[in-house]
């Protein structure tokens, strides 16, 4: 079992940083699938890949209050809560793997609060690297893999994945999927009408087919996300001279070192 670091300051420029975010307020099925994805991500190349697991459980991430002060204070959010901790990890990472439960056919509120605030504050944060008046976001080129599961079948899994893919694109990052046929646009599972936080884990031990598919697709997401990010990093290094002419790549180039 590869080591999965659980820490806040974990940047080592020589390694690819994979950040797993469990978007559930409990230690349940989302965390279970996330651990499976992270294990496979790290196994792509244990010497070059470092995984950090973060859970929103017990964290306070409030909603954006639309003050737009972040635009004038270099992207710093006025609200001080656990947003800053997760944002800092998010910014450092080369790969993000979201593993979230379906809530009301979409993403859970706390995850939505995080991505709303992330999106808006990044405009202010990066404004200084562009010419005045340009409302741009840099090409961050993080690879983002998405894993979702709900209690029911066809009960919002695709909407939730689409929400997360849209977030990925807006953040100038790259969505990755697993392999066909398990994973069309991300990993989507269901707990066979069971609200137990350990539902998928138990079903897997019983060799339940749907639980096996959920686990397999989460594993594929982790593997493909790490592979793609290593390719992007290598491409960034080989094209560094050309890319450094355009400020839009500055945060990406700074990140890969």
**Sole binder of ligand FMN in the list 16, 19, 20, 30 (CB under 6 A):** 30
55 binds ligand FMN (CB under 6 A): no
**Sole binder of ligand FMN in the list 75, 145, 156, 236 (CB under 6 A):** 156
213 binds ligand FMN (CB under 6 A): no
Distance CA 25, CA 43 (A): 28
188 binds ligand FMN (CB under 6 A): no
151 binds ligand FMN (CB under 6 A): yes
Name the DSSP letter for residue 107. Answer: -
Number of H helices, E strands in the chain: 8, 6
**Sole binder of ligand FMN in the list 17, 21, 102, 147 (CB under 6 A):** 102
Q: What is the DSSP string of 69-96?
A: GGGTTTT--SS-STHHHHHHHHHH-SEE
Nearest-approach distance from CB 201 to ligand FMN, in angstroms: 10
Distance CA 127, CA 115 (A): 19
Q: Closer to ligand FMN at the Cβ: 140 or 187?
A: 187
Distance CA 115, CA 54 (A): 15
Residues that bind ligand FMN (CB under 6 A): 24, 26, 28-30, 101-105, 149-152, 155-156, 191, 195, 197
């Amino acid at each position: 079992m590869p080591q999965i670091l659980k820490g806040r300051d974990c940047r080592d420029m020589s390694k690819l940083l994979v950040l797993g975010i469990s978007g559930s307020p409990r230690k349940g099925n989302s965390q279970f699938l996330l651990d499976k994805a992270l294990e496979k991500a790290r196994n792509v190349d244990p010497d070059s890949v470092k995984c950090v697991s973060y859970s929103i459980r017990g964290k306070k991430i409030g909603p954006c209050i639309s003050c737009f002060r972040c635009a004038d204070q270099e992207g710093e959010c006025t609200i001080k809560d656990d947003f800053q901790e997760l944002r800092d990890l998010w910014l450092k990472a080369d790969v993000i793997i979201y593993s979230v439960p379906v809530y009301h056919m979409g993403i859970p509120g706390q995850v939505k609060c995080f991505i709303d605030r992330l999106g808006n504050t990044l405009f202010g944060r990066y404004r200084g690297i562009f010419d005045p008046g340009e409302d741009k976001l840099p090409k961050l080129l993080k690879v983002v893999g998405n894993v979702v599961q709900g209690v029911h079948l066809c009960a919002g899994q695709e909407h939730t994945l689409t929400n997360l893919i849209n977030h990925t694109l807006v953040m100038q990052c790259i969505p990755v999927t697993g392999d066909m046929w398990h994973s069309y646009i991300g990993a989507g599972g269901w707990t066979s009408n069971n609200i137990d936080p350990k539902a998928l884990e138990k079903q897997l031990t019983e060799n339940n087919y749907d639980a096996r598919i959920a686990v397999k697709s989460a594993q594929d997401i982790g593997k493909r996300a790490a592979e793609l990010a290593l390719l992007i990093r290598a491409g960034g290094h080989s094209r560094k001279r050309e890319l450094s002419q355009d400020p839009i790549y500055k945060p990406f180039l700074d990140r890969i070192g």
